[in-house]
Amino acid sequence: MLGFPALKGGEFLRNEIEQLVYNYSSQNYSNWQLITDYHFGGYAKVKPELLQFIHDFQAQHHMPLEPVYTGKMFFGLFDLISEKHFPEGTRIVAVHTGGLQGNAGFKQRLGIEV
């Protein structure tokens, strides 16, 4: 299981997640990791390559993304796939967490069409 923090320096979340999981289940799990390389400068920060990926993804897959969470996660996932991070034949399930209402805010505040 992979998690993609939207925060720059999101490695600190590892301890918090471990503690929350332990408090809930009284067990420690090692079947997950945080991938902290796809924050694009930090929370709610965007770069042109992220916006281009979102536009291309939406055109190809007809599924909207937003640049705070899901765009970064899918960018990271597709990048890992292209780098052959996963063994061939791996079944991947990605959870789209929503957040699309933020796209209107990006357009209004920054003039960025997402």
Angle between helices 48-61 and 70-82 (to 10 degrees): 80
- What pLDDT was estimated at residue 111? 66
Q: Which residues of the chain have pLDDT under 50?
A: none
- What pLDDT was estimated at residue 47? 93
| CATH code reported for the domain at 2-110 | 3.40.50.1100
- What pLDDT was estimated at residue 44? 86
- What pLDDT was estimated at residue 97? 86
- What pLDDT was estimated at residue 99? 80
Q: pTM, whole model, 2 decimals?
A: 0.88
- What pLDDT was estimated at residue 110? 67
- What pLDDT was estimated at residue 112? 67
